[in-house]
Amino acid sequence: MSNNIVPLTELISQFERLPGIGKKTAQRLAYSILEQPPERAEKFAEALINARKKIHFCKKCQSLTDLEICSICDDPKRDSSVICVVAEPRDVLAFERTREYTGTYHVLHGVISPLDGVGPDQLRLKELMARLSDGQVTEIIMATNPTVEGEATASYISRLVKPMGIKVTRLAYGIPVGADLEYADEFTLARALEGRNEI
Amino acid sequence: MSNNIVPLTELISQFERLPGIGKKTAQRLAYSILEQPPERAEKFAEALINARKKIHFCKKCQSLTDLEICSICDDPKRDSSVICVVAEPRDVLAFERTREYTGTYHVLHGVISPLDGVGPDQLRLKELMARLSDGQVTEIIMATNPTVEGEATASYISRLVKPMGIKVTRLAYGIPVGADLEYADEFTLARALEGRNEI
């Protein structure tokens, strides 16, 4: 059952196109906009336009930024000899949250996935190779997701980079901190056993 | 940990202000906007502005509409002698989904809630009373939520309307269709017993 108010239907369908937002939630969100002062909708609209217009990819690491070179690449305190290679811009934020990583990043904007028609040429690989050409980089940390595509991408890049004499590492597999062993899947547990460390 | 891209932070905070959207979801939604073509953000912004600008309250039932009189009030096939009184515009949609109700609506835009400083004067009650004055309405269905405030509002309006010789009814309480008795709370079960019907 739809309302038959065209502008409302359109707003609901815009919310519905967002990832993880279903029909019911989209309706709830659209109504919430209508219940608030018009300035609220205007601010929201402005933020959407602004973000999309002002944010682009960092010339160096291909992460998101509103500057030419992002604040991480531009920070002299970051160790530019280490590059953490991730699939998506949001992965950068995940690593930054750890407050442990002091190297730089490179965002591929995807992973190799033949089924979806994504080959190495669709990724920001050329830009990564360009960064490696001056011999300053000593380590590449492959931080793509632990999925088939993420693994394939990691090993593809590893084969490209290793001959250049650059160390290539991969994130450790294992049990998540705070997790219950009972609920760990067998593949994760097997990897955790494999990678066990002396204490 | 925040990214330090101002337009991105602003977009995330706009998403975060929506009901039921937490920090993580807001981030995911904001990034999804950046990953899509700029036209997508523009369409979204336009839908927000449009909806807020074109949609207002129906002069008659106070529900949302982009016309002067909403399509339900304006429909000669709807029975205007019955008014279903609801708290919020979204409740109208819930009843329309049943495809069972053929009467009209009246939206109060809130319920009486002394703790939140909402008294009868803040509701669209004057507008309801005006609709009752011509003697055409024979029944008012009080369809506010089964909460303390919803009940108080229902009985307040009932006391106002009954002396006018108009029938006032309340939605039936009982077990939800398809629910498991085991999980029904005692108040609902008690009401379901009370309201039992012969079969």
> Contact B154/B125 with Cβ under 8 angstroms?
no
Residue A22 touches partner B, C-beta closer than 8 Å: no
Q: Considering Cα of B131, then B135, then B137, then B139, what sign does the dihedral take?
A: positive
Q: Which domains does chain A have, with CATH numbers?
A: 2-54 (1.10.8.420), 76-171 (3.40.1360.10)
CA distances from A141 to A47, B22, B74 (A): 34, 31, 65
Q: How many helices (H) and strands (E) does chain B have?
A: 7, 6
| Minimal Cβ distance to A66: which of B7, B21, B27 | B7
> Contact A73/A104 with Cβ under 8 angstroms?
yes
CB–CB contact B7 A51 (8 Å): yes
Nearest residue to A83 via CA among A2, A164, A1, A193 = A164
| Structure confidence by residue, pLDDT tens digits, A99-136 | 889 999 999 999 999 999 999 999 999 999 999 998 99
- As a whole number of angstroms, the distance between CA A49 and CA A153 comes to 33
pLDDT score recorded for residue B1: 43
Give the other-Cβ count within 10 Å of B35's Cβ.
14
| Cut 0.90: pTM above it | no
The DSSP string of A154-172 is: HHHHHHHHGGGT-EEEEPP
- As a whole number of angstroms, the distance between CA B1 and CA B144 comes to 43
Chain centroid to Cα A1, Å, comes to 37
> In chain B, which residue's Cα lies nearest the Cα of A43?
B14
User: Cβ contacts of residue B147 below 8 Å, gap of 6+?
Assistant: B111
Residue B69 touches partner A, C-beta closer than 8 Å: no
Q: Which residues in chain B have their CB less than 8 angstroms from residue A31's CB?
A: 88-90
Interface ipTM: 0.78
pLDDT score recorded for residue A36: 87
> Contact A6/B46 with Cβ under 8 angstroms?
no
| Minimal Cβ distance to B34: which of A21, A25, A51 | A51
Nearest residue to B153 via CA among B119, B113, B112 = B112
CB–CB contact A93 B5 (8 Å): no
Residue B51 touches partner A, C-beta closer than 8 Å: yes
| Structure confidence by residue, pLDDT tens digits, B12-67 | 999 999 999 999 999 999 999 998 899 999 999 999 999 999 999 999 999 999 99
Nearest residue to A70 via CA among B182, B75, B6, B61 = B6
Extract the residue ranges of chain B whose pLDDT is less than 70. 1-3
User: What 8-state DSSP symbol labels residue B113?
Assistant: B
CB–CB contact B1 A33 (8 Å): no
| Minimal Cβ distance to A38: which of B27, B52, B97 | B52
Indicate the burial class of B123 (C-beta count within 10 angstroms; 0-12, 13-18, 19 or more): buried
199 residues of chain A, pLDDT tens digit each: 456 789 999 999 999 999 999 999 999 999 999 988 899 999 999 999 999 999 999 999 999 999 999 999 999 999 999 999 999 998 998 888 888 899 999 999 999 999 999 999 999 999 999 999 989 999 999 999 888 999 999 999 999 999 999 999 988 888 888 777 777 788 888 888 888 877 7
Residue A62 touches partner B, C-beta closer than 8 Å: no
| Minimal Cβ distance to B51: which of A21, A34, A52 | A34
User: What 8-state DSSP symbol labels residue B93?
Assistant: H
- As a whole number of angstroms, the distance between CA B87 and CA B136 comes to 22
